[in-house]
Amino acid sequence: MASNEQTVLQFVPSATSVSARVHPLVIFNICDCYVRRPDQADRIIGTLLGSVLPDGTVDVRNAYAVPHNESSDQVALDIDYHHNMLSSHQKVNPKEVIVGWFSTGFGVTGGSALIHEFYSREVTTPVHLTVDTGFKNGETNIKAFVTNNLSLGDQQLAAQFQEIPLDLRMLEAERIGYDLLKPTNVDKLPNDLEGMEASMERLLALIDDAYKYVDDVVEGRIAPDSKVGRFILDTVASLPKLSPQAFDKLVNDNLQDQLLLLYLSSITRTQLGLAEKLNTAAQII
Amino acid sequence: MANATTRSFLQVAATEEATPPLRVVQIEGLAINNTTKFLKELFCTYLIQVILKIIKHCKEFSPALVTGQLLGLDVGSVLEVTNCFPFPIREEDEEIEAEGANYQLEMMRCLREVNVDNNTVGWYQSTLFGSFQTVELIETFMNYQENIRRCVCIIYDPSRSNQGVLALKALKLSDSFMELYRHNNFTGEKLREKNLSWVDIFEEIPIKVSNSALISAFMTELEADTPVKQCDYERLQLSTSPFLERNVEFLIECMDDLSMEQQKFQFYYRNLSRQQAQQQAWLQKRRAENMARKNAGEEPLPEEDPTNPVFKPIPEPSRLDSFLITNQIANYCNQVNGVAGQSFSRLYLMKALHEK
């Protein structure tokens, strides 16, 4: 980006190797805002809220869109809106502070530098998150950037956007289950037992896979991989060694506890039913 | 709130004639479809994003209880919940309360600016171990109901979600209950007349989830390759005892409350029968006196004397509390049943694994 390469070009690398982590809500929020963008707008931008973890990871937990206008060489941001929204969010959760900003579209574009400069005033090292809602390459393209300043002597020349690693493993989303997140329509939420069933099925499939792998290795169909072998060994070893009697006792005790609770709750329910009948019927005096 | 009120008048005027039954409540990103066993079907759709927001807000502040507002559209027979925003934690201070109202208006104004539907359709709140059936909830619901004809309340339980369960419920009060509540009429007689039992206070609405195609695409791409998901780990956790213990603890507390209520009723009935005995005694005395007066050729005294304290009716205690407590107990029982059922399967699974 810097045009002058003969004099001393100072390249200040970012102090730490930062990385970013994104809460799925942020992606959802951005997508929703994009769907609801004004007619004439090509992209939407907005503020990212979150916190910086002790190890330098930027944890992005919330986002809101900020209305803006963009022409070829200038960007107008609704700063009032930004501040209003910020103070509202802080009332709810004071721990979430500005950590950067997001924009839809593929990678960094021209106007981005200006917006980034604005956010640099709000927070020392803002993170710029780009979400490609157009799926240009036919795949998801979510990237995070920080800037490095290029300066010539005391003069600021430009800012270089540098990509930083982005952690997209979304534990929160996994908790809800992708079964619910992926399809565009789900008629019913899975209840406890259905979820349990699904988990068990997956577990069984995994055990089957492991069996098959071990059998194949033993019979020489697959080249053995010592790493996998060690994992399997660790897993098997993690089962506590108990004598069958002790184990039976443990399981049976537990079962009996649960049965007792079930019994108790059934009795309670019966009592409730009875009490209700008595309460409403006994009053004929 | 103010524009919700004005809107509601219009809406009430418009809907007074024929309210189409509410069939769907749709949450943007996550649609929740609620069907009532009542005359009409209630159906909500929620967008996933709304559910994520609710979960995030409730979880971050757990174990403190939080609330927030649901925004969306009421389209014919479908109630779509397309967005929501959290309320700051409430404090017992009037000044802050006023600020809270301001916050709400401000937030709705801001959201409108980025083209978010800003009609209130209900609210959400977090709960611990399903202990949400309180008078406050009913009052809040009635308040909302005054302003918007159809509203829904989402209950999320962060404590249960740690077990890999999406503990999300959409509730509404049944119409017959609301009618009674409005007249504050919870005597045994009225309840019998309406044939309303504690089961009929809340109606749970099944949840339907919908997603925009964009989000769906992102999620398909972003889904991790690992065959084991976080929720699987959590579901297969063997230790459920803390949860069960807390549940049983709450259950015992509720039982105490219920027996207190029962004592109130017993006290009332005892008083009532004592009063009736007194009335009888007084009547007999008066009759005897009248007989004497008649024999003596005097005018008989009236057989009723409203000024006498014996005839003052004793107010019947409201059944509302005991109804709610009963509901609560039933809820705990269900939870215990559910969790115990799950841990049975886990135990057998463990046994089978061990035998291998």
> What sign does the dihedral A218-A224-A226-A231 (CA atoms) show?
negative
**Tens of pLDDT along A21-72?**
888 788 888 888 888 787 777 788 888 888 888 887 888 888 888 888 877 6
Mutate to test the interface with B, among A21, A85, A196, A256 (most CBs of B within 10 A): A196
Check CB contact under 8 Å for B276 and A181.
no
Q: Above 70 in pLDDT, residue A118?
A: yes
Which residue of chain B comes nearest to A132, CA vs CA? B218
Residues in CB range of B343: below 8 A, 6 or more apart: A254, A258, B238, B240
Minimal CA separation from B214 to chain A, in Å: 7
Q: Above 50 in pLDDT, residue A162?
A: yes
Task: Read off the tokens for A13.
Answer: 């690398």
Residues in CB range of A110: below 8 A, 6 or more apart: none
Instruction: Please list the alpha-helical segments (H only) found in chain B.
Output: 2-15, 48-61, 94-113, 135-147, 158-161, 175-182, 188-194, 213-222, 230-235, 241-295, 320-355
Which residue of chain A comes nearest to B338, CA vs CA? A192
Q: Above 60 in pLDDT, residue A9?
A: no
Query: Domain-by-domain residue ranges, chain A?
Result: 9-173, 190-239, 242-278
pLDDT by residue for chain B (356 residues), tens digit each?
Answer: 344 444 444 443 333 333 444 545 555 443 333 333 332 344 556 666 777 788 778 877 777 778 888 887 777 666 778 888 888 776 555 566 667 777 777 877 877 777 777 778 888 888 877 777 777 888 888 888 777 777 788 888 877 776 666 777 788 888 778 877 877 766 766 776 777 777 777 877 777 777 777 777 777 777 666 666 666 666 677 677 777 888 888 888 888 988 888 888 888 888 888 888 888 888 888 888 888 888 887 777 777 666 676 677 777 777 778 888 888 888 888 888 888 887 888 888 877 777 76
Nearest-angstrom CA–CA distance, B265 and B319: 9
CB proximity B260 to A under 8 Å: no
8 Å CB contact between B50 and B27: yes
Residues in CB range of B271: below 8 A, 6 or more apart: B314
Chain A neighbours among B 85-144 (CB < 8 Å)?
86-89, 103, 106-107, 110, 113-116
Burial environment of residue B254 by CB neighbours within 10 A (0 to 12, 13 to 18, 19 or more): buried
Count residue pairs from A and B with Cβ separation < 8 A.
Answer: 246
Nearest to A184 among B191, B213, B350 (CB): B213
Nearest-angstrom CA–CA distance, B339 and A192: 8
Task: Read off the tokens for A264.
Answer: 């108790």
Burial environment of residue B64 by CB neighbours within 10 A (0 to 12, 13 to 18, 19 or more): exposed
| pLDDT at position B21 | 47
Residue type, A82: H
Check CB contact under 8 Å for A31 and B231.
no
Give kind and range of the element (H or E) at residue A50: strand A45-52
Residue A128 DSSP SS3: strand
8 Å CB contact between B244 and A259: no
Give kind and range of the element (H or E) at residue B78: strand B78-86
8 Å CB contact between B129 and B246: yes
Confidence band of A186 (pLDDT split at 50, 70, 90): low
Check CB contact under 8 Å for B113 and A31.
no
> What sign does the dihedral A100-A101-A106-A110 (CA atoms) show?
negative
Check CB contact under 8 Å for B210 and A185.
yes
Check CB contact under 8 Å for A206 and B236.
no
| pLDDT at position A99 | 87
CA B293, chain centre distance (Å): 61
CA B247, chain centre distance (Å): 19
Residue whose token pair is 């399981």: A251
**Tens of pLDDT along B153-163?**
888 887 777 66
Nearest-angstrom CA–CA distance, A197 and B305: 71
Query: What CATH class has A9-173?
Result: alpha beta
Give kind and range of the element (H or E) at residue B93: none
| pLDDT at position B225 | 60
